[in-house]
A and B are shown apart, each in its own frame.
Chain A
Amino acid sequence: MSTVAMEQRKKIHPHKFTLWVGIGSLLMMFAGLTSAYIVKRNQANWQSFDLPQFFWYSTLAIIASSVTIYLAEKAFKQREMKKYRSLVTATLVLGVLFIVFQLLGFQQLWAKQITLTGNVSYSFMYVIVGLHAAHVVGGLIALIVLFAKAFSTKTRIYNSVPVELVSTYWHFVDVLWIYLLIFLIMIK
């Protein structure tokens, strides 16, 4: 077994690799939506609009949460569990804040008559931003699991793979949001 195990050890962990392939798959979904957006934009009746201020606050929140989860992963690997716990908590709070700001942003838009069933451009924005938010909520659920495990006194965890998986996914939704934000600003 030793030789086979040695060979395995050099490779990336299968679960991490699965996540990367899954990220590729999710990217294709957003690529589908954004290319549909580009195609539609060149047709008649397209109305451009400005993104709400709250989307900028949510951007700050998610960038900050990416930093905290990076530090949390580092703290976990150095076995500084106290630091790890507070950093996971911070990430969770920032993640929730992101969602709250997104909802406030939607409210702002709605108040300006930019509604889901208005112009096609509005509908696209709601679907794309909403679908991204759904993926952030998925990440939040994973973060809650990490959070619960970090504060559980019954078990001590040494396996860093789950932490690394959540961290990679969280960076992904962060980068995806920045891409979508730039996309929605540049192409309207």
Chain B
Amino acid sequence: MSSVATLHHADVHGSHDAHHEHHHHETFITKYVFSQDHKMIAKQFLVTGIIWAIIGGLFSVVFRFQLGYPESTFPWMEDIFGHWAAGGKLKPEFYYALVTMHGTILVFFVLTAGLSGTFANFLIPLQVGARDMASPMLNMLSYWFFFLASVIMFASLFIQTGPASGGWTIYPPLSALGDASSGAKLGMDFWLVSMAMFIVSSLLGGLNYITTILNMRTKGMSMTRLPLTVWALFFTAVLGVLSFPVLLSGAILLLFDRNLGTSFYLSDIVVAGKILPNEGGSAILFQHLFWFLGHPEVYIILLPAMGMSSEIISVNSRKPIFGYMAMVGSIFAIAILAFLVWAHHMFVTGLNPFLGSVFVLLTLLIAVPSAIKVFNWLTTLWRANIRFTPAMLFAIGFVSLFISGGLTGIFLGNSALDLHLHDTYFVVAHFHIVMGVASFFGMFAGVYHWFPKMFGRYLNNTLAYIHFWVTIVGAYLIFWPMHYQGLSGMPRRYYDFSGWTSFNMFSGLNEFISFVALIVFCVQLLFVFNFFYSMFKGRKVTDSNPWGSNTLEWTTPINPGHGNWPGEIPEVYRGAYDYAKDGKEFIPQNTPVGDDESTHH
């Protein structure tokens, strides 16, 4: 009986291989739009992510104008936003909508879909030696669900009552009651529908990534020979697949509360003088469900950047990554701990102090694997023959930001200190540096490093260096002062601080931060220009392995077709980090082990 079944499997794979030998005719639609090629899907994610990043970044510049120049008016704002900025001054309701959408867009649409979607799709099949994902069809659907989510979220920006404005964390009761604010009306419904589509997209993607890594590796590619990018993307997908469904269940209960009159999160509420019939609900329940996703989400954003930086630092140091197994082990430890620390976002919700101390301990434990990773990056760089390519600079910048932002995490992880720092600019500074900007640096490093593989052309280096230096200096100038503002108690999410004498002393600093934010945003546009210009007009790649890298993606032709390798898939004989071994600069993974080679490989 089972032999019959195995025979059928062989049939499936036989026909699958044959399918790739002849070049099937592709139309514009199947090649660029409804493509099932993982490389094209990756580019679709990347371009959509870039568009979202521009929108989300622009929103932050607009609300920084309000914070930096609370007394001034900007007539051009009225031209763009109409009644939301009547007289050239943002309305408070719209300020909250901008903050909410900035968070939603950058956390989910850019740094989750744009980052994981791009690089998991692009790198996993190429680096494990597979012709495509386990299910190219589901992979295509993953992009189109993301596209649908994007269209709905984008449409919500044009609703008369405005987009969702209760914060990206959509805490009830603000998000559960349409009467709570203008953004809690139709905008909130659009937000929830869009996020449901987004969750479906990331689950379909995640299933594919996990299956492809565990199931479709080429001959000889054991798990311990995988490049660290693939390990990081693997744990990212595991986190997503296990945590997004919990957010979905939280969102389902919220939908029932909003539309069907249940009371999961609502109790004893008076809106506009009217007593609501809801009773017995608990708003804190939502926070538990939300942060059970929310904290792993931080690592969903961060891990791909860690993996890519590890790979790029090793390649451009011309040295093996220091402590490969420790790197894998620490990612694993981070992934486990990610599920056990969610309540550190909730220290001020009246959490049982004993329970709080358990979460403090678990939170501080994350410092151990994080420190292991930092030491391994630094020891890889130590006495290395470093090539300062733009990708390398961004990878080193990532390490710098991860250290700076990680250290303030130790402050916030202590519940006693968090009571003071919670919901202040200290938190804003912490997570923007360690999660936001650091992951952006990982993403930039990845784009600069793999752009030649994606498009067969190089990005312009001069523009890239300008991009790097302005961005890293700017990031520190924007977020470093915010630590001081937070320590002195300046709360986040406020529309205008000019009314408080205690925060008046920061008006000059706020103006400075807003000014730098504008400059940094403009330099990102320089990157966008470089990206699209180089895609068509950049210097052509002539060497199939321009960085002298060991991993399998550089064994494909310069412009690989669907199926990646024209002939057979290369076999792997060694790990991904044989740099500077036996007097050779680098030894690609598909090079057999020679007789004269030392045993350690």
Contacts and interface: CB of A to CB of B under 8 A. Distances in A.
Contact of B243 (A28, A33, A43, A45): A28
A161 B134 CA distance: 14
A5 B13 contact: yes
Interface string B428-444: 00000000000000000
A17 B135 CA distance: 11
A31 to B, nearest CB: 7
Interface in B288-305: 288-289, 292
A123 B267 CA distance: 14
Interface stretch (A18-26, A95-103, A106-114, A143-151): A18-26
Contacts of B10: 5, 9
Interface stretch (B215-223, B313-321, B355-363, B458-466): B215-223
Contacts of A25: 203, 206-207, 241-242, 244-245
Given A17-B214, A18-B211, A123-B256, A7 B282 contact: no
Nearest to A79: B4
Interface in B447-485: none
Q: Secondary structure at chain A's binding surface: helix, strand, loop or mixed?
A: helix
Interface residues of A, number: 48
Contact of B263 (A3, A120, A159): A120
A3 to B, nearest CB: 6
Contacts of A39: 282, 285, 288
Nearest to B210: A21
Given A24-B242, A29-B245, A32-B246, A161 B8 contact: yes
A158 B8 CA distance: 7
Interface string A117-147: 1011001100100010000000000000000
A5 B260 CA distance: 53
Contact of A18 (B138, B261, B289): B138
A4 B568 contact: yes
Given A4-B568, A11-B215, A45-B280, A32 B203 contact: no
B17 to A, nearest CB: 6
A77 interface: yes
A4 B253 contact: no
A5 B245 CA distance: 35
B248 A29 contact: yes
Interface string A16-53: 01100110111011111100100110011110000000
Interface in B224-272: 241-246, 248-250, 252-253, 256, 260-264
A48 to B, nearest CB: 14
A32 B245 contact: yes
Contact of A9 (B9, B218, B219, B568): B9
Residue of A123, A158, A160 with most partner-chain B CB within 10 A: A123
B80 interface: no
Contacts of B256: 116, 123, 127
Interface string B177-207: 0000000000000000000000000010011
Residue of A5, A22, A32, A46 with most partner-chain B CB within 10 A: A32
A13 interface: yes
Nearest to B7: A158
A74 B2 CA distance: 10
Contacts, number: 140
B34 to A, nearest CB: 20
B219 A4 contact: yes
Contact of B246 (A4, A31, A74, A124): A31
B198 to A, nearest CB: 15
A18 B207 contact: yes
A40 B285 CA distance: 8
A116 B568 CA distance: 59
B600 to A, nearest CB: 26
B564 to A, nearest CB: 14
B6 interface: yes
Residue of B246, B253, B261, B288 with most partner-chain A CB within 10 A: B246
Contacts of B260: 116-117
A28 B242 contact: yes
A40 B245 CA distance: 19
Nearest to B244: A25
Contacts of B14: 5
A5 B17 contact: yes
Contacts of B8: 158-161
B207 to A, nearest CB: 5
A74 B263 CA distance: 47
A187 interface: no
A32 B247 CA distance: 8
A7 B252 contact: no
Given A14-B135, A119-B280, A36 B207 contact: no
B246 A29 contact: yes
Given A12-B215, A21-B207, A159 B12 contact: yes
A14 B130 CA distance: 12
B249 A36 contact: yes
Contact of A77 (B4, B248, B252): B4
B253 A22 contact: no
A39 B249 CA distance: 15
Contacts of B262: 116-117, 120, 123, 127
A83 B138 CA distance: 32
B424 interface: no
A127 B253 contact: yes
A32 B250 contact: yes
A87 B528 CA distance: 58
Residue of B5, B211, B218 with most partner-chain A CB within 10 A: B211
A149 to B, nearest CB: 15
A44 B12 CA distance: 57
B11 A4 contact: no
Contacts of A131: 249, 252
Contact of B203 (A3, A22, A44, A46): A22
Nearest to A123: B262
Nearest to B208: A18
B154 to A, nearest CB: 27
A45 B278 CA distance: 12
B279 interface: yes
A18 B134 contact: yes
A29 B242 contact: no
A61 to B, nearest CB: 25
B310 to A, nearest CB: 25
B157 interface: no
A1 B219 CA distance: 10
Interface of A: 1, 3-5, 7-9, 11-15, 17-18, 21-22, 24-26, 28-33, 36, 39-40, 43-46, 74, 77-79, 116-117, 119-120, 123-124, 127, 131, 158-161
Given A5-B14, A9-B10, 6 more contacts: A14-B212, A21-B210, A22-B241, A117-B262, A127-B256, A160-B4
* CB-CB nearest 9 A-B residue pairs: A29-B245, A14-B134, A32-B246, A32-B249, A45-B280, A123-B262, A117-B261, A28-B245, A18-B211
9 contacts: A1-B17, A14-B215, A21-B241, A24-B241, A32-B250, A36-B264, A46-B280, A117-B263, A127-B252
